[in-house]
Structure 1
Amino acid sequence: MAADPVPVNARGMKCPWPALRAARAMRDAGAIVIEADDPIAAAELEALAQAQGWTFAALGEHRFALSRTE
């Protein structure tokens, strides 16, 4: 059974900080849910996930999920 996603709060941070926060959280987690309100955060997070081989999903206007594909 997979662990619950780790919550990451990156609200108010300008890119690249949300992507850096996500990458750091993913060091120890199999999945995260990140809240980021920078207008380019979705594109940055999706690019990070693609580069690392992770899955990316937009959960809402400012919520995104990243997870390892194993």
Structure 2
Amino acid sequence: MTEPTTLDLRGLRCPLPVLKLRKALLGIPPGATVAVRTDDPLATLDVPNFLRENGDALLSSEPDGGGRRFTVRRGPGKETGAP
């Protein structure tokens, strides 16, 4: 299994983390994973909601040095998604 692409989005605030995650997901094949590091407090709500609405999977969410690290798997057949 290959390592996930990692996005370091620390310092960015809503809605930028979700917008950058959406762009990254559109650039990878279904089933591939992305790890997201963010310190935006709203990401704990925004990221899971965005993924649920667009058919992607949240594999993990854990504390990461004052922020959070999300591991996400792209869902099947995703064309576009709105944050």
Shift of 1:65: 1.0
Runs of 4+ in structure 1 over 4 Å off: none
State the one-letter code of the partner of 2:61.
Answer: A
- Between structure 1 and structure 2, the one with the greater Rg is 2
Shift of 1:45: 0.6
- Pick which of 52-61 and 21-30 moved more: 52-61
Query: Please, which runs of 5 or more residues in structure 2 have no aligned partner?
Result: 77-83
2:63 maps to 60
Query: Please, which runs of 5 or more residues in structure 1 have no aligned partner?
Result: none
Are the aligned partners of 1:42 and 1:64 in contact in 2 as well (CA < 8 Å)? no
What is the aligned-residue RMSD (CA, Å)?
1.5
Shift of 1:69: 4.1
Higher relative contact order (CA 8 A, sep 6+): 2
1:9 maps to 8
Instruction: Report % sequence identity.
Output: 23
